[in-house]
Structure 1
Amino acid sequence: MEVIKAKELTEVFDELEKRYGKNWYEHVHVDISTDADGTIRVTITPIAFRAFVGKEVKATEDFHDVVAGKKMGEYLEEAVSKIENLEEKLKEYENPRIYVTVSEDEMKAYVTIIPGLEKEMPTIDELIGALNKSGVIFGIKKDVLEKIINEKMTYQQILVAEGKLPEAPVNAMIEYRFKISRELEGLDEFPSCTEGQVLAEKIPPKDGVPGRTVTGKEIPSQKGQDFDLRKYAGENTKVVDNKIVAAISGQPYVDEEGRVHVRDVLIIGEQDLERCRKFDFPGTIVVTCNVDGPFRISAGRDLNINGVVSGSVKIKAGGDVYIKGGFFGRGRGLVMADGSVTVQFITEGLVIAKKDIYVGDYVMNSEVIAGRSVKVSGEGLILGGNVKAVELVEARRIGNEFGVATNVEVGIDFEYETRKAEITHRLKLLLDEMSDISVYVLKLRAAYEKLSESFSVNKDKFRSLIVQLEARREEIANEINELRQKLKALKFVSTQEMFKLNPRIIIKETCFAGVTMTILGESYKTTFELGPRALNLQALKELKTQRTKK
């Protein structure tokens, strides 16, 4: 049921013809009423619904009883007697009539079938022919036509053809080839790029596809919009063959206007550390906060940290490392630099620098290896662990009054000591992991045995976890065996060049008993306090000789 509202009755007829064609009266029943404000309200009901729904006509009933309130038989006899050419009219109504209505925009076509007196329904070909005769040649729904015939759908307007709207164009766009900062959530690695790397590419525009009306008219489409890629190439980038490429190695990022830039310095803050655990950047890295936890930070050039570094952190730099707040490794942390390392303090960590290591206060229970020198200023204390350098170790005090074992060595083979320290450090981490896994496996097995068969899903999960942990433990065991072999294969290579460097240990104040000093392989363990002095190989040998004579 539909409702039409209008101010004038002529508008009603116009709308009826537009919706149902000139013979609308054969399709629908119309009830007209007027609202209080004078608006004409037309209620439209399909004739089939109006005539048959809710009524059951018996074959033996008199036709007068079907239409209540009128002597229909007498009325029909009188009406028929006035029709001219009755026989021709009867022939006209023998076959079904097909009415085609095309919407004003020619995007839809409908058919209404009035059954014939002799032949009730048309054929598929007759329906298509009627549509074609009305100009409908596109989008005809043959399955709907078949349904109309099979289900004898008469006296109702049915949609049988639809045009095709034009496809929208696709404007040119930028496809970024790296994860932009706002997408970092959940990533393991921070974005970086190398010189010449493609950072973004322009996807060319695509024109829309024209549509068609049911009468076959083409509906024009629009063209996709293009843009100049150069306006999106920002700092340290260039455009090559519809692509934006990095002009330098660094950190790529996108500004608010969609332009691509490359920073030659990567700035890492607290929020970045919350989102990401691994940072590998070809340029300089600046960390503006403390670093505590299992982070991996690798810089192609310098690395500056304005805070304390602690825990199982692994830091590497192709240049210098500067740690403002000091390094507390907890037996797991590692700092390596191809340049020098400057740090406020070192505690329970491994620090390796190809050049110099400058410590602001103290080195305690740590492994420190320098390709040139280790200098401890300020409090100037070296206590516990191993401090090694090729040329020089300098400190105010070495060891303490309690005789804590402390090793200081100069004239080392830097490559040998570095490789040995790295392998040893990795072995310690692997042993810790293996111990943890063994504990987890035991706990999981105990829990698994307590689960009943009714917890089959949980048992499957437990089995899966146990298998995965056992597999990881086997991987660790294999890696440990490989590292053990590598450690055995390491060879110390002493060269005459080291003698020319005249390696020294400088004690500015006190060296306590229990300290082992080694110069070019010659070792001496102090049994008493030594005052300020500079020791080279010759002086160390003389010290040993003097103490032997006494």
Structure 2
Amino acid sequence: MAGQDDLKILVSVSPDELKAYITLYKGDGNSKVSKDDMLRALALQRVTYGINEQVLEQYAENPIYNEPFCVAEGVAPKHGKNGEVKYHFNTTVTNTPTILEDGRINYRELNLIQMVKKGQILCTLEPAIMGSNGMTVKGKVLIGVNGKPAVLPRGKNVAVSEDGKSLYATTDGEVEYLDATKVSVYTNHEVPADVDNSTGNINFVGSVTIKGNVLSGFSVEAGGNVEVYGVVEGATIKAGGNIILRRGMQGMGKGKLIAGGDIVARYIEYCNVEAKNNIQSEAVLHSNVKCGNKLELTGRKGLLVGGTCKVGKMIIAKVIGSHMATPTDLEVGIDPTIREDYKRAKEEMAASESDIKKAEQAIALLKKLEAAGALTPEKKEILTKSVRTKIYLSSRIEELKKEIEWLEEKLKQDGDGKIRGTSFIYPGVKVTIGTCVMYVKENLQYCTLYRDGADIRVGAIDK
């Protein structure tokens, strides 16, 4: 408390020392408080910072008594903000099914796998914000805390950008986020149990390993290999590399295996199977098989019964057909994809020739209208499109002619495929080698079927 005999000045400071107040108390006299009086009172209480002299002047001229008024304010410290990692993928994946346009729910498309491409940015750093110091009304410095910089959660198959501010994938694969400490990209996806409603369909750019079964109606697509430890039912498996079935496949007439490399399975039943290279199994039953190189049935059974098999070079099996004369259609000597490409090219050629005739008819009609001056803007646009179509189709037809010629030459080449039965080949088996056909009408044992000119011969097993 400071002041004259009849006037007192009370200085109070807030607990955090960020504000100082003055309260004036008037005595019996008529004395007025001055600005300097208030400054001296503040100095006695060590208030030296943030004093608002304009307020002091105002209250000296027009004093208000018995009420505190703020005359000094300090500066509170500003604490910084920690840096953050901003993720550019969903870090909280849940098994939410896909809702179709008609409102139905597709429980087989759960979108559990998040695929990323090589070079894709996975996360970026939000910089830390620095703090700033403050000051109390008594001149004491208040330290502001700086924000801490964040650290990029670098895991496997990811790299830090040159400026150190982002993380990107170094390969195509599945991105995984582990406890906010690691972001990794994996080229192999593992399903710990069955492929069913809990996982949905699998579509992965790398390789896939399935520890359980693949249930009917589901699909697995992989850019690399697919390995299944359990049984595959009426499902679809497509692999850019190899397909390995530790047990086998009971396709129920709707199962599909398509591999860009080899297929290895213990057994294959009632399936559509296609491999660009080799197929190896203990038994293939009542299935449609396409194989670019060799189909080999080994092991205890070595059984090939029913269905059709189109194989590029060789079929090897212990038993082909059955004693019940089960129809079994075998074709070797020409890569089945060449026949399919030839058929596709011929169909496209026929369609293109038909379309170019229609375009020529339209052009002739529109040219007549143009000569008569009756060509509307709409018909002029149709004429332009028709001319473009004719030019494109003419070019495409020339390409198809060359492709068909090349394919025909491949088809005319003598097929050097062989079929080797290390035990029995039963009646009911139809054999096509190149362009030659043979129907097996009696039991054949320990032999090799091969082409000799225009005929198919039965030779020794090591032929």
Decide: shared fold, TM above 0.5.
Answer: yes
Shift of 1:332: 1.9
1:191 pairs with one of 114, 131, 144: 114
User: Where does 1:81-480 land on structure 2 (aligned, <5 Å)?
Assistant: 134-135=69-70, 169-180=80-91, 183-186=93-96, 187-206=110-129, 222-229=145-152, 232-240=153-161, 241=163, 242-256=165-179, 258-270=181-193, 274-313=197-236, 315-360=237-282, 362-378=283-299, 379-416=301-338
Partners of 1:376 and 1:498 in 2: CA distance: 29
Q: In structure 1, what residue type is equivalent to 2:111?
A: D
Which ranges of structure 1 fall in alignment gaps of 5 or more residues? 1-17, 24-83, 89-128, 139-163, 423-489, 545-550
**Take 1:268 and 1:175, find their aligned partners in 2: how far apart are those partners?**
28
Aligned-pair CA distance for 1:194: 3.0
SS in 1 for 2:247: coil
Number of residue pairs matched?
A: 334
Equivalent residue number for residue 145 of structure 1: none
Tell me, what secondary structure is at the counterpart of 1:201?
Answer: strand
> What is the match of residue 508 of structure 1?
422
User: Is contact 1:189-1:280 (8 Å) kept?
Assistant: no
Q: C-alpha distance in 2, partners of 1:307/1:328? A: 11
| Structure 1 counterpart of 2:433 | 519
CA pair 165-402 structure 1, distance change in 2 beyond 3 A: farther
Q: Which has the higher helix share?
A: 1
Structure number with the higher strand fraction is 2
Q: State which structure, 1 or 2, has the greater radius of gyration over its C-alpha atoms.
A: 1
Give CA deviations for 1:475-495 in whole Å, capped at 9, x if unaligned.
Answer: xxxxxxxxxxxxxxx989444
Superposed CA RMSD? 4.6
In structure 2, the CA distance between the partners of 1:179 and 1:311, relative to structure 1 (3 Å rule), is farther
CA distance in 2: counterparts of 1:333 and 1:420, whole angstroms: 26
Q: Which runs of 5+ in 2 are unaligned?
A: 1-14, 16-20, 31-63, 97-109, 345-402, 459-463
Which residue of structure 2 lines up, in the alignment, with residue 537 of structure 1? Answer: 451
Superposed CA deviations along residues 5-38 of structure 1, whole A, max 9, x for unmatched, are: xxxxxxxxxxxxx9xx999xxxxxxxxxxxxxxx
Cα distance change of structure 1 residues 540 and 509 upon mapping to structure 2, 3 Å threshold? farther
* Distance in 2 between residues matched to 1:407 and 1:326, nearest whole Å: 22
- In the TM superposition, residue 412 of structure 1 has moved relative to its aligned partner by 3.1
SS across alignment from 1:415: helix
How much does 1:363 deviate? 1.0
CA distance 1:509–1:238, shift in 2 (3 Å): same
Measured in 2, the distance between the counterparts of 1:212 and 1:278 equals 63
Identity of aligned residues (%): 24
CA distance in 2, matches of 1:205, 1:377: 65
Partners of 1:265 and 1:348 lie apart in 2 by 29
- Counterpart residue identity of residue 326, structure 1: G
Question: Partner of 1:508: helix, strand, or coil?
Answer: strand
- Whether contact under 8 Å (1:509, 1:531) holds in the other structure is yes
The AA in structure 2 aligned to 1:177 is: H
The normalised TM-score by structure 2 is 0.60
Give the number of the structure with larger relative contact order, counting CA–CA contacts within 8 Å between residues 6 or more apart.
2
Post-superposition shift, 1:185? Answer: 2.4
How has the CA–CA distance of structure 1 residues 284 and 397 changed in structure 2, closer, same or farther, with 3 Å as cutoff? same
Q: Secondary structure at the match of 2:235?
A: coil
How far is 1:135 from its partner?
A: 3.5
